[in-house]
Structure 1
Amino acid sequence: MFFELIATFAAGIGAAAAVVALAHMTGGRLPRYTAPAAAGLAMLAYAIWSEYSWAARTAGTLPDGVEVLVEIPETRPWKPWTLVVPQVTRFMALDRAGVQSNPEAPGVLLADVYLFARWNPPARLPQLVDCLNRARAEVSEAALADPSQAAWRSAPEDDPLLEALCTS
């Protein structure tokens, strides 16, 4: 967050410097308010770009085998541009490379799901997925030893985790 603040200030200072240089080259024909106006617009533009590109930039840093399952767009009244184009502030990713199966429990898979949220550290959430019964459960020691001991919850038909694991 600190680096984004520094980058925002740098964008404003850079825009103001460019306008001051342009005013100097034109012999001072630009109005005096153009430098602070350019700085403010540049800082606002950078902040909006940074917010809207966060999900794509973060997803781009994920290792091979980790894929984004769901993006969650949000709108905020204090960010009126999000009312026009909602901003992705959270997403869920699946580590496909780390999916494990248990020969003693056919149709049950163990997968790591990662939850990403703007301004928060990522959270790892191991999940048991029962493809045959379309259910999922959080991992516990008892559930790892015997999947029938897991607290299974039925999943909706359009559950992205089940769609990703059970239809491929």
Structure 2
Amino acid sequence: MIWHLIAAIFAGLGAAGVGLILRLLSGKRLPRWIVPALGGLGIIGYQIHYEYTWYDYKQAQLPASAQVVSTETDQMAWRPWTYAVPLITAFNVVDQSNLVTRETGKDRLVEFILYRFERQHTDHVSHQAYLLNCSAQEMVPLAEESRQPRYTELRRVEASAPLYQAVCDNA
């Protein structure tokens, strides 16, 4: 976080320096406010760049066996540019190297961990173990310590869903 603050400050100073050079090259015909205005635009430009490259940066840090199964975008009034291009604020990942497959009669059950990455003031990562019945297309979360299914939270998963394809087609 501190490095992004330092980078934003230097982006602002660099842009203000460009404004100062432009003012000097114009023989001081450009108004004085051009220097702080360009400095502010430099800081905002860096912040926008950082926000839109966060997803690609985090995805590059994942192991090769990790597959992104969903992303969430958001539009925010205090970031009006997100109405033109929505900002990715969270994504879910399945690590295919940790899939555990069991055959029970006619059903194929796959146990996996779904990781969730959220962009907040500091990045937030959470995980939850699930059991997916590939035959019935049903998914249920597992309790933390006992690993027992919580049937009250059972939900259906479509065969065309990226989560189903990542878990069942590769298990």
Provide the TM-score with structure 2 as the length reference.
0.83
- Alpha-carbon distance in 2 for matches of 1:60, 1:122: 15
1:121 equivalent among 124, 127, 137:
124
State yes or no: 1:132 paired with 2:167: no
State yes or no: 1:85 paired with 2:85: yes
Q: Counterpart of 1:122 in 2: which secondary structure?
A: strand
Alignment correspondent of 2:113: 112
- Alpha-carbon distance in 2 for matches of 1:103, 1:135: 15
Q: Which amino acid aligns with 1:33?
A: W
Q: Which amino acid aligns with 1:126?
A: A
State yes or no: 1:164 paired with 2:160: no
2:65 and 2:97 in contact (8 A); partners too: yes
Q: Unpaired runs of 5+ in structure 2?
A: none
Alignment correspondent of 1:153: 154
Q: Which amino acid aligns with 2:55?
A: A
Per the TM alignment, residue 164 of structure 1 is displaced from its structure 2 partner at its CA by 1.9
Query: CA 1:88 to 1:111, structure 2 compared with 1: closer, same or farther past 3 Å?
Result: same
Moved more, 61-70 or 13-22: 13-22
Per the TM alignment, residue 21 of structure 1 is displaced from its structure 2 partner at its CA by 3.7
2:66 and 2:95 in contact (8 A); partners too: yes
**C-alpha RMSD of matched pairs (Å):** 2.2
- Summarize deviations over 1:47-93 as a string: whole Å, max 9, x none: 11111111111111111101111111111122111111111101111
Alignment correspondent of 1:54: 54
Per the TM alignment, residue 38 of structure 1 is displaced from its structure 2 partner at its CA by 1.0
Q: 1:19-58 maps to which residues of 2 (within 5 A)?
A: 19-24=19-24, 27-58=27-58
- Alpha-carbon distance in 1 for matches of 2:97, 2:42: 41
User: Percent identity at matched positions?
Assistant: 28
Q: Which amino acid aligns with 1:41?
A: L
Q: Unpaired runs of 5+ in structure 1?
A: 144-148
Per the TM alignment, residue 116 of structure 1 is displaced from its structure 2 partner at its CA by 0.6
